[in-house]
């Protein structure tokens, strides 16, 4: 698939690289791990479970901090404000190719739950011409997904307007309110969309089957200087994901607590059951080399990388290898 887009990640990566030279004001204690996640939503009971004491077994306190998008998370990592974060791996690949110290250590959600949701009067992708599509920050996953769908259906990017409208909730509300005619959001909104005149137009996993939703990133320096802590964190993540996938009620209760959703909201149960049914979550934190290489290749086609790079230079399997042994079966 030949993508056609301009000025996507470059500006964001420039900010990221600048952030990388900002010194951290305080060193983290060796028994505390600061992990960045995206804002809690209907899958919070899966993705944020690691913050519920799963590092205690190995003597690690895990502080989970929420961010609006993965570009800001990457900036925080390189500025020394985080020890790790989870988000789309593509900004990390671009930043690493340009000299930033960032490594992918594992991927816990290999299937995109996102898609393009649109108002009912949008009958096809072709109807998006001349319309506004809500995304997050330029260079983030929603931006990439929207452009990939347009490319797949041979619609020039210049024929639509992009609006950076925050997180999934804000983007979905913008469609309901008519501020945007479409938005890239999680499919968690499917259960409530019909009553609000909105529908799932394109499923992300169909448009981008090789696109990895979230991976975990660290800096090479952190891996070198705090390797034991990095392994303990990854092992805690594995245990937390296994627990979430086998304890539906506990996961849904945590989602409702963190995302502040009432018991009558159908979204947490919908996205949880979809994730389990479609095996969308991988508690082994696998490093799918083929999919990462595919994403790197797309970035070259997008002219966000001047030439292909060896994806192995962005991957560090040592943390996962140690965590598999520590976490057990």
Number of helices (H), then strands (E), belonging to the chain: the values are 14, 10
Residues 89-104: pLDDT tens digits?
988 999 999 999 999 9
Same domain for 99 and 230? yes
Range of the domain at 297: 10-17+29-110+212-327
Query: Token digits for 56?
Result: 């205690």
Q: Which segment of 85-94, 145-154, 187-196 scores lowest on mean pLDDT?
A: 145-154
Q: Is residue 5 part of a domain?
A: no
The residue among 207, 236, 266 that closes a domain is 207
Task: Please indicate, yes or no, whether residues 177 and 321 belong to a single structural domain of this protein.
Answer: no
Whether residue 35 is contained in a domain is answered as: yes
Tell me the CB-side half-sphere exposure of residue 232, using CA atoms within 13 A.
21
Q: Are residues 70 and 197 in the same domain?
A: no
Average pLDDT, the chain: 89
Per-residue pLDDT, averaged over 234-254, amounts to 98
- The first and second tokens of residue 74, run together, are 């990457």
Confidence at 329, pLDDT banded by 50, 70, 90: low
Segment (H or E) for 113: none
Please classify residue 98 by burial: count the beta carbons closer than 10 Å to its beta carbon, then call 0-12 exposed, 13-18 middle and 19+ buried: middle
Structural domains of the chain, count = 2
156: left (phi over 0), alpha (psi -120 to 50) or beta: beta
* Residue 23 is assigned to a structural domain of this protein: no
Model pLDDT, residue 85: 98
State pLDDT tens for residues 294-328. 999 888 876 778 888 899 999 999 999 999 999 98
The dihedral over CA atoms of 113, 14, 100, 69, expressed in degrees to the nearest 10, equals -30
Point out which residues pair with 184 in neighbouring strands: 116
Q: pLDDT value at position 244?
A: 98
Residues 227 and 316 in one domain: yes
Class of residue 195 by CB neighbours under 10 A (exposed 0-12, middle 13-18, buried 19+): exposed
CATH of residue 57: 3.40.190.10
CA distance 208 to 187: 15
Beta-strand pair 103-109/114-119:
unpaired
Q: Does the structure show a pLDDT above 90 at 140?
A: no
Is 127 in the same domain as 182?
Answer: yes
Answer with the one of 207, 232, 265 that is the final residue of a domain.
207
- Domain-terminating residue out of 180, 207, 234: 207
Structure confidence by residue, pLDDT tens digits, 11-35: 444 434 434 433 333 334 448 999 9
Model's pTM, two decimal places? 0.83
Residue of 35, 86, 84 whose CA lies nearest to 64: 35
Do 239 and 94 lie in one domain? The reply is yes
Backbone angles phi, psi at 65, to 5 degrees: -120, 135
Q: Is 3 inside a domain boundary?
A: no
Quick one: 106 and 216 in the same domain? Answer: yes
98 and 118 share one domain: no
C-beta of residue 181 within 8 angstroms of C-beta of residue 175: yes
Q: Token pair of 40, please?
A: 């809690």
Residue 186 shares a structural domain with residue 261: no
Both tokens of residue 109?
A: 């959600």
**What is the pLDDT at residue 305?**
83
Q: Are 211 and 146 in contact (CB under 8 A)?
A: no
Same domain, 105 and 166: no
Length of the chain: 329
Question: What confidence score (pLDDT) does residue 304 get?
Answer: 77
25, containing H or E segment: none
Q: Are residues 218 and 289 in the same domain?
A: yes
């Amino acid at each position: 698939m030949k993508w056609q887009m301009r000025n996507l990640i470059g500006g964001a990566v420039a900010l990221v690289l600048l952030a990388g030279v900002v010194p951290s004001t305080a060193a983290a204690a060796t028994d505390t791990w600061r992990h960045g996640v995206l804002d809690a939503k209907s899958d919070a009971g899966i993705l944020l479970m690691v913050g519920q004491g799963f590092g205690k077994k190995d003597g690690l306190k895990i502080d989970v901090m929420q961010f609006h998008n993965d570009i800001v998370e990457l900036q925080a990592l390189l500025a020394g404000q985080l020890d790790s974060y989870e988000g789309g791996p593509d900004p990390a690949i671009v930043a690493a190719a340009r000299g930033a110290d960032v490594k992918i250590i594992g991927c816990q959600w290999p299937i995109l739950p996102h898609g393009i949701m649109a108002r009912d009067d949008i009958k096809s992708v072709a109807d998006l011409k001349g319309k506004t599509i809500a995304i997050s920050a330029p260079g983030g996953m929603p931006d990439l997904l929207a452009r990939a769908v347009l490319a797949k259906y041979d619609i020039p990017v210049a024929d639509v307007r992009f609006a950076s409208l925050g997180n999934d909730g804000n983007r979905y509300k913008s469609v309901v309110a008519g501020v945007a005619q479409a938005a890239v959001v999680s499919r968690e909104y499917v259960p409530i969309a019909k009553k609000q005149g909105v529908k799932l137009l394109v499923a992300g996993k169909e448009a981008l089957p090789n696109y990895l939703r979230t991976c975990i990133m660290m800096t090479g320096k952190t891996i070198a200087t705090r390797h034991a802590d990095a392994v303990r964190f990854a092992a805690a993540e594995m245990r937390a994901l296994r627990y979430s996938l086998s304890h539906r009620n506990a996961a849904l209760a945590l989602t409702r607590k963190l995302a502040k959703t009432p018991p009558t909201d159908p979204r947490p149960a919908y996205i949880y059951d979809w994730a389990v049914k479609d095996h969308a979550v991988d508690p082994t934190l696998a490093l799918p080399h083929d999919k990462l290489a595919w994403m790197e290749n797309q970035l070259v086609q997008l002219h966000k990388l001047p030439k292909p790079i060896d994806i192995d230079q962005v991957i560090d399997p040592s943390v996962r290898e140690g965590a598999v042994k520590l976490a057990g079966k």
